[in-house]
Chains A and B, each alone.
Chain A
Amino acid sequence: MEFKHDVVIVGTGLAGLRAAVEMPEGTDVALISKVYPTRSHSGAAQGGIAAALGNEEPDHPEWHMVDTIKGGDFLTDQDAAEVLAGDAPRAIFELEHMGVPFNRTPGGTIAQRAFGGHTREFGKAPVKRACHASDRTGRVILDTLYGQALRKGIKSYDEFQLLDLIRQGNRVVGLVVYELATGEIHLFQSRVVLLATGGFGKVFKTTSNCFANTGDGVYLAYKAGIPLQDMEFVQFHPTGIYGLGVLITEAARGEGGVLRNGDGERFMERYAPTLKDLAPRDMVSRAIAQEIREGRGVAHKDFVHLDLTHLGKERLKEKLSDISSFVRIYLGIDPSREPIPVQPTCHYMMGGIPTNLDGQVLDKDDQIMQGLFAAGECACVSVHGANRLGCNSLLDLVVFGRRAGKKMVENLPEISWTALPDRPEQGVLGAIDGLKKGKGREKTWQIRKEMQETMTESCSIFRHREGLTRGLAKIRELLERYEGIQIRDHGQRFNTDLLEALELASLLHLAHVSLVSSLNREESRGAHFREDYPERDDRNWLKHTLVEKGDPTPRVFYKPVRITRFEPKPRTY
């Protein structure tokens, strides 16, 4: 079928929904979700959303801005950090007015708690900046924004999978979309498209990400010729449940929890004497990996303990109830009595589709692509630089989702309808046909497993040239073997066998770009740590990486970091 909407928003997490809600009455806007909107991965965010409200203790947006820049190891574009921190209080009050059930202070204002890397007076001590609803903050904001979208009567195409962007010159004029329930291929013609498709943590073996996080939007932008920015910066959250990767929020440490090694030592005191367990995530994850490497994992194994036993049952129940239940279900542990075995888990991609401060996608010449926007984890503003701070992601989604929405509305009158090219779905149909009728013997799960193992071995917390080179060769081999996949389900309805094979193409290409970027950056900055180049090198590397698809190898180039007010300094906590 052919659908026609002025505005099409792909992805119904916080960024997509917040942009949708910004559309004035009467705008013809449609949402596309690969799941149901309330099942989007924003809902898995636990600990909070940052804003310098000062409800619990003095705070200031400028402190938040500087924390964000320093947290990103000075790769953060400072104008973006200023927008993020400056707009945060307004964004939180707006969410509250929409109905988000935030926890409250005794005085009835929004309650706040400490989070990693958020400090008072430029690093003096942790500050309570994270607004929260127990440890279900993402979920309740998602529910609230979904409610607002319903209130506005916004049309949503659920369980529709984006398969291609239709590009005409420097414009995206429509989308090729697959309806999971029927197997039909649809064309969506539009004047403006927003990609809000999330991240791709599924390139790694252990991740806090959902199965749906396969980076479809990011890959399709790359495929359409848009370069990807800062793809070497992958966040490993320090506290994933051992073996499973399920997230234990940083709020556990914000509420007073501590990490202990096999000797029972609170080792973060050695790595970050001021902030200790509340140092930024890249540093805490690296510290855990270092402890394990040096044989100080618990029982000499590859995990450490997150100790919440001193917090008391009441506090766990009120402020950390979901994670308490995860630990009980998956490990059989009562966190009020026993410490939790944790290890770093792939959590968030700092890199993605380059945009300006209004979500407009930038092409290889840093020019605005007309009619194409991106927001949220799939985008790279870059507001998180080389390492995102906890609680800045939900904030990014609502701040930049709204800004993208506003700009879309503003641009609409200037953008006319453009006819779709002839049979734009042809490429997609060919790919599907190939997967169904392939003569090869390759299996989706086998290639995916090898990709995840390769990325985990070569592109995790510690990286070096040899490992990255090996990883790159392996991913190239897997990209070739992908052509030999044959799926078993040849039916039309809910063909998740086909869906997984299509998603794997996105994952493989994004793994490839991440490896190319990681191998290229010969320094250590934020989440990107090169054992062969262990220092930050501002003289040569204070710049953003861009990778453009090329034949046969991608092209790597750079653009400067926007430094407005704060010169890079050594990063200690």
Chain B
Amino acid sequence: MEKQFKIFRFDPEKDSRARYQQYKVFAEPTERILDCLNRIKWDQDGTLAYRMSCGHGVCGSDAMRINGRCALACQKLVKEYEGKEVVLEPLPSFPVLKDLIVDMERFFARVRLVRPYLIAASEPPERERVQTPEDSRKLDEVIRCILCGCCTAACPVTAQNEAFLGPATLVWAFRTIFDTRDDRHTERLGQVDRPDGAWGCVNHFECTRVCPKEIPVTKSINAIKREIEKVFEK
């Protein structure tokens, strides 16, 4: 079927302001929006810029706004937009570098801030550390995060307050806070126990709605809040 696309274009090298460009492509209903983008780029307009790599929702490169909703272009199929024009825009709340490509630096810097690695106090044993399946399962959902940025871009708090750590960072904080092998529990909780940390979240649930890996992001942030209350007896 023929599909109509309206794509956000901005190249700071030559454009004084952003514009939208229309394209038409033939696509099967079961094809990915990424397939359409590639067809546009390859057959019609080589200047169109976007990121992509794995093509099946594992690397997190092709996050963008599709008809107003943050998503991965490789996870959305043409048939989901039947009868509609498809509007593609860069992730909101991120500075645009060119067309659909946004600046990820601050996003990654935030994740680095919460020290996304295990810090254990004791010397490791000869074999693996023992962890019960129940304790291990606490991390099953958050370890699905692929750092695509959809949640942070969709977050209404992030849109209002640049200083808010953002949902993705808090998901990464969760990984170590609730890992029984980590020994910086209190210190890590203290780091997110502030108005721009876990308490910045006011349960809009937008992050949870858009997460392409179906992580219960808001629920995870609330678990951090409850843990802060428990540990610091608030």
Contact = CB atoms under 8 A, between A and B. Distances in A.
Interface in B81-137: 97-99, 101, 104, 108, 112, 115-118, 120, 124, 126-133, 136
Contacts of B46: 487-489, 497
Interface stretch (B138-146, B153-161, B188-196, B216-224): B138-146
Given A104-B132, A105-B133, A93 B127 contact: yes
Interface residues of B, number: 61
Interface in A426-444: 443-444
A43 B140 CA distance: 16
Interface stretch (B9-17, B19-27, B201-209, B225-233): B9-17
B58 A43 contact: yes
Interface string A482-498: 00000111011111110
A109 B131 CA distance: 7
Closest 4 CB pairs of A and B: A99-B118, A147-B117, A488-B46, A445-B42
Interface string A140-163: 100110111011000000000000
Contact of B128 (A96, A181, A212, A445): A96
Which of A133, A139, A211, A244 gathers most chain B CB within 10 Å?
Answer: A211
Contacts of A136: 143-144
B77 A491 contact: no
12 contacts: A36-B61, A36-B108, A38-B60, A39-B54, A41-B59, A43-B59, A97-B124, A150-B112, A211-B52, A322-B144, A330-B77, A445-B42
Interface string A438-465: 0000011100000000000000000000
B75 interface: yes
A140 B136 CA distance: 13
B53 A109 contact: no
Interface residues of A, number: 63
Nearest to A149: B117
B129 to A, nearest CB: 6
Nearest to B52: A211
A101 B136 contact: yes
Contacts of A494: 49, 97-99, 101
Interface in B43-73: 43, 45-47, 49-61
A143 B116 contact: yes
Contact of B116 (A44, A93, A147): A147
Nearest to A147: B117
B136 A38 contact: no
**B contact patch SS:** loop
Interface of A: 35-36, 38-41, 43-44, 53, 92-93, 96-99, 101-111, 133-134, 136, 139-140, 143-144, 146-148, 150-151, 181, 210-212, 244, 246, 318, 322, 325-326, 329-330, 443-445, 487-489, 491-497
A246 B56 contact: yes
Residue from A41, A146, A147, A445 whose CB has the most chain B CB atoms within 10 Å: A147
Contact of A98 (B41, B112, B115, B118): B118
A325 B49 contact: no
A160 to B, nearest CB: 14
Interface string B29-49: 010100000000111011101
Contacts of B120: 97
Given A109-B128, A329-B75, A444-B42, A143 B143 contact: yes
A35 B53 contact: yes
Contacts of A210: 53-55, 59
B130 A181 contact: no
Given A36-B108, A493-B12, A97 B143 contact: no
A133 to B, nearest CB: 7
